């Protein structure tokens, strides 16, 4: 009996010791992994990780998204260590009352308690292994959406705040109020509102919808889907400013995978910059090789210059073979020369942003001179201004500048020798880039790059642009429309009351709606209201007449003027 009774005790002791040892080894392994990663980053400047990651990524789809790369804390841990990033957050997480596992963002204790908002996602169809989804607004959410449009028309941000207090997870209100916070330079609150919008949308995902497969599609023409695109884009912009380019790149790949054919937010103008900042050079060169044949990426200035820059950085990785290094150097030089020939207007603004003075031969040559700036079409001017304003910091390295100078002189030699490539590139510039598509304008507006925004055409800058739906597609698929309103709104803003006092006939919302306007969607109501306001202001200014003061030589004047 004593032998039998002792056996289970021994087993229990063994089990306990196993658990303790397993826990200890897990913590030790985590710390060792973090330390080893930091050593690699310090020793090789992060390039050895890239070479290993490039080999793994080659066997996966190009736009494959990894869940672990969607969390900015994982990237910050690699740079600073887990203890520096997490600090005392671990015990607080155990006290949280509600936890819902999400990939895009983690809910915070400061957020209101989540409840169903009235947003759902439906699977429309499956074609050739690609699944097409759409968000849907239930009736109660539609009513909140109508109240949101009323709040926008009132031109009073307090109405948005009041609406969010009653509906804390209304997505469009969160997006618009985030823009208001940015105007007031409250970056932290603006970022928090975008994360809350992403959390609300992710809670409505269809069970089959996958972020990582790259085969799930959303149509931007449907207004219900646009909030997801915009929230992802604004979130990645905050991540890039926060110093998490690898996480921002993963979100950029996610946006592109939702509609790679149309690319409604034109993230192709941004993905190269994020890849270079994250040192994902292999990804960028692979994307150029796979997509160049059917997407003509070399016709975009950002890819034309960023891809040779990626090859240049690859050619400096000492752990690669001598053959790979020489091939990378040759490709980098050849592609950079083609880029300079195709887009000569990039060089001088780029050197100016980098505070570099060109030598006498380059400065005096007409090929890179002022003529190259003036002669290019306006659409091309927007693309070059966007690229230079965004990526000029990547070209400031001394080795990069020396490599650029060598290839600039080689291009000038080709120009003086009347190489046929130069004339062919000039012909392409004149024939193409006559007008930019709508998604490029949308990207420029969302990027808020001063150099590119100044180059926008008048037809874009003259119309009102709202943060929750900038430049909506002209072929929108509208599922529900805003009902007609006969009564005047009771909560008018001070500005609206001011114009009504001056102009009794002024009506921001408009009383008459034609039958054919029902398909225009809720967004047109806001545009028409703002246009009425601008027209009323113009009429008021035209009708204002100033009385001239009497002159001294006027015999009829009484000399008094007030």
187 and 324 both lie in a single domain: no
The torsion angles phi and psi of 556, rounded to 5 degrees, stand at -80, -20
Domain-embedded: residue 487 = no
| Whether residue 70 is found in the same domain as residue 210 | yes
pTM of the model: 0.77
Q: Which long-range contacts (CB under 8 A, 24 or more apart) does 135-138 make?
A: 135/201, 135/204, 135/218, 135/222, 135/224, 135/225, 135/227, 135/228, 136/224, 136/479, 137/224, 137/479, 137/480
How many angstroms separate the CA atoms of 302 and 308, rounded?
10
Same domain assignment for residues 304 and 405:
yes
Choose the final residue of a domain: 380, 411, 436.
436
- Report pLDDT for 19: 42
Per the structure, the complete domain to which residue 406 belongs is given by: 280-436
> With the C-alpha atoms ordered 42, 44, 50, 56, is the resulting torsion angle positive or negative?
negative
Q: Looking at the structure, tell me whether residues 314 and 225 fall in a common domain.
A: no
Instruction: Note the pLDDT of residue 455.
Output: 83
How does pLDDT run along the chain (562 residues), one tens digit per residue? Answer: 444 444 445 444 444 444 444 444 444 445 445 445 544 543 443 333 344 333 334 578 999 999 999 999 999 888 888 777 776 555 444 444 555 678 999 899 999 999 889 999 999 999 999 999 999 999 999 999 999 999 999 888 899 999 999 999 999 999 999 999 999 999 999 999 999 999 999 999 999 999 998 899 999 999 999 999 999 999 999 999 999 999 999 999 999 999 999 999 999 999 999 999 999 999 999 999 999 999 999 999 999 999 999 999 999 998 899 999 999 999 999 999 999 999 999 999 999 999 999 999 999 999 998 888 888 888 999 999 999 999 999 999 999 999 999 999 999 999 999 999 999 999 999 888 888 999 999 999 999 888 888 888 888 888 888 889 999 999 999 999 988 765 555 555 655 555 555 554 455 544 444 444 444 454 555 555 555 555 555 555 555 454 455 555 555 544 444 4
Cβ count near 154 (within 10 Å): 21
Q: Give the CATH number of the domain where residue 139 resides.
A: 1.25.40.10
Does 385 share its domain with 418?
yes
Within a domain: 468? no
Measuring CA to CA, how many Å separate 361 from each of 156, 339, 473? 57, 19, 47
pLDDT at residue number 307: 98
Domain finish residue from 382, 406, 436: 436
Q: Which position has the token pair 């055409």?
A: 457
Q: Domain check: are 74 and 219 in the same one? A: yes
Residue 245 and residue 185 in one domain = yes
Would 215 be classed as within a structural domain? yes
- Residue 83's φ and ψ, nearest 5 degrees, are -65, -35
Are 245 and 301 in a shared domain?
no
**247 and 306 fall within a common domain:** no
Helix ranges (DSSP H) in 203-344: 223-242, 245-258, 271-277, 281-295, 301-314, 322-342
Residue 180, domain member (yes or no): yes
Q: How far is CA 76 from the centre of its chain?
A: 20
Same domain, 223 and 288: no
Number of domains in the chain: 2
User: Are residues 293 and 411 part of one domain?
Assistant: yes
Among 232, 265, 298, the domain boundary falls at 265
Asked whether residue 549 is assigned to any structural domain, the reply reads: no
Q: Is 274 inside a domain boundary? A: no
* Contact call for residues 450 and 192 (beta carbons, < 8 A): no
DSSP E strand boundaries for 85-233: 119-127, 130-137, 216-218
In a domain, 525, yes or no: no
203 and 299 part of one domain: no
Report if residue 347 sits inside a domain: yes
């Amino acid at each position: 009996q004593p032998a039998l009774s002792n056996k289970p005790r021994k087993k229990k002791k063994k089990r306990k010791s196993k658990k303790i040892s397993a826990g200890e080894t897990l913590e030790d392994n985590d710390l060792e992994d973090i330390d080893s990663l930091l050593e690699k980053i310090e020793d090789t400047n992060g390039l050895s990780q890239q070479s290993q990651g490039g080999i793994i990524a080659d066997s996966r789809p190009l736009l494959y998204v990894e869940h672990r790369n969607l969390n900015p804390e994982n990237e910050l841990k690699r740079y600073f260590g887990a203890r520096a990033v997490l600090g005392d957050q671990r015990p607080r997480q155990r006290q949280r009352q509600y936890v819902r596992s999400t990939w895009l963002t983690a809910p915070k204790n400061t957020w209101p308690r989540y409840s169903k908002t009235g947003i759902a996602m439906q699977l429309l169809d499956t074609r050739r292994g690609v699944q097409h989804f759409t968000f849907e607004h239930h009736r109660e959410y539609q009513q909140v959406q109508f109240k949101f449009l009323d709040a926008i028309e009132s031109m009073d941000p307090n109405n948005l705040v009041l609406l969010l207090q009653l509906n804390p997870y209304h997505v469009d209100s969160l997006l618009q109020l985030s823009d208001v916070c940015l105007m007031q330079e409250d970056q932290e609150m603006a970022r928090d509102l975008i994360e809350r919008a992403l959390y609300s949308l992710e809670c409505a995902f269809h069970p089959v919808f996958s972020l990582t497969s790259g085969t799930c599609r959303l149509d931007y023409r449907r207004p219900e889907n646009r909030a997801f695109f915009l929230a992802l884009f604004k979130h990645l912009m905050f991540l890039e400013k926060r110093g998490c380019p690898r996480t921002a790149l993963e979100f950029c790949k996610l946006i592109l995978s939702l509609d790679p054919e149309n690319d409604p937010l034109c993230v192709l103008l941004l993905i190269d910059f994020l890849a270079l900042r994250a040192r994902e050079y292999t990804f960028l060169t692979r994307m150029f090789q796979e997509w160049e044949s059917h997407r003509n990426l070399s016709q975009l200035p950002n890819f034309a210059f960023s891809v040779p820059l990626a090859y240049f950085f690859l050619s400096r990785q000492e752990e690669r073979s001598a053959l790979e290094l020489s091939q990378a150097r040759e490709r980098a030089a050849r592609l950079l020369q083609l880029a300079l020939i195709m887009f000569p207007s990039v060089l001088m603004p780029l050197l100016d942003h980098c505070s570099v003075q060109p030598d006498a031969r380059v400065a005096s040559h007409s090929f890179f001179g002022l003529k190259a700036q003036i002669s290019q079409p306006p659409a091309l001017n927007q693309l070059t201004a966007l690229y230079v304003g965004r990526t000029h910091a990547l070209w400031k390295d001394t080795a990069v500048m020396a490599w650029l100078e060598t290839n600039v002189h080689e291009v000038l030699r080709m120009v003086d020798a009347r190489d046929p490539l130069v004339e062919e590139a000039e012909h392409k510039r004149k024939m193409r880039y006559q007008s930019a598509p709508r998604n490029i304008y949308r990207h420029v507006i969302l990027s808020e790059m001063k150099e590119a925004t100044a180059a926008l055409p008048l037809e874009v800058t003259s119309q009102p642009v709202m943060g929750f739906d900038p430049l909506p597609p002209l072929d929108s698929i509208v599922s529900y429309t805003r009902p007609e309103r006969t009564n005047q709104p009771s909560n008018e803003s001070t500005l609206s009351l001011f114009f009504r006092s001056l102009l009794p006939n002024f009506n921001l919302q408009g009383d008459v709606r034609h039958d054919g306007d029902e398909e225009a969607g809720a967004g047109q109501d806001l545009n028409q209201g703002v246009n009425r306001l601008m027209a009323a202001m113009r009429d008021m200014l035209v009708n204002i007449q100033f009385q001239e003061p009497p002159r001294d030589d006027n015999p009829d004047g009484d000399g008094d003027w007030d």
